[in-house]
């Protein structure tokens, strides 16, 4: 899928989300219909029924993201569920940085990216939950893991994969 990441938008957009939603709706309308699209937002205020309605209307999905200023993945999943769920035939998640930790702080904490330094147990459980939901719905889940999440993406992926296979959360 194509993932469109929208940076954190200013307070004026957060206070008046239609200033973002209307252009997003128009943008998605113009995209070719032959591809899959995920929208990654960086404003928690946008996790609303109106946002999910726009995504569903265009067959797009929300890119669940574990990032500095976003709520935990489980809260994003609950927001989607409260809005009636996602209708796309796929899920996307990007596991980027620990919540509350800036990009620069994550680089300093985790480089040289050769070992897990701080396992994020709730994040892992949430990713497993999302993957299992995809399996239950018989759809694909694309999970992208960055080294800055825990310090060593290959091991994070291995551990999450083991959790999915073993059926644990």
Query: Could you tell me the end-to-end alpha-carbon distance of the chain, in angstroms, rounded to an integer?
Result: 26
Res 169: pLDDT: 59
CA distances from 69 to 7, 41, 66, 137, 156 (A): 11, 11, 9, 29, 21
Res 76: pLDDT: 99
pTM listed for this prediction: 0.94
By the 8 A CB rule, do 22 and 57 touch?
A: no
Where do the domains of the chain lie, and which CATH numbers do they carry?
A: 2-166 (3.20.20.410)
Res 159: pLDDT: 98
By the 8 A CB rule, do 91 and 134 touch?
A: yes
pLDDT means per 10 residues, the chain with 169 residues, are 95 84 98 98 96 99 98 99 98 98 96 96 98 97 98 98 87
Let me know if 132 is exposed, middle or buried by CB neighbors in 10 A (0-12, 13-18, 19+): middle
Res 13: pLDDT: 80
Residue 95 CA to residue 99 CA, distance in Å, equals: 10
Res 2: pLDDT: 98
């Amino acid at each position: 899928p194509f993932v469109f990441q929208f940076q954190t938008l200013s307070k004026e957009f957060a206070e008046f989300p239609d200033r973002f939603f209307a252009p997003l709706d128009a943008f998605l309308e113009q995209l070719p219909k032959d591809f899959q699209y995920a929208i990654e937002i960086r404003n928690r205020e946008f996790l609303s029924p109106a946002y999910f309605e726009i995504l569903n209307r265009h067959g797009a999905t929300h890119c669940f993201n574990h990032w500095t200023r976003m709520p935990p993945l489980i809260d994003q999943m609950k927001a989607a569920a409260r809005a009636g769920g996602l209708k796309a035939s796929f899920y996307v998640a990007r596991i980027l940085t620990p919540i509350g930790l800036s990009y620069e702080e994550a680089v300093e904490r985790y480089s040289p990216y050769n070992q897990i330094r701080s396992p994020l147990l709730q994040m892992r459980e949430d990713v497993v939950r999302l993957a299992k939901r995809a399996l239950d719905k018989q759809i694909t889940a694309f999970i992208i893991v960055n080294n800055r999440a825990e310090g060593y993406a290959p091991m994070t992926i291995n551990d999450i994969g083991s959790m999915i296979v073993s059926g644990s959360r």
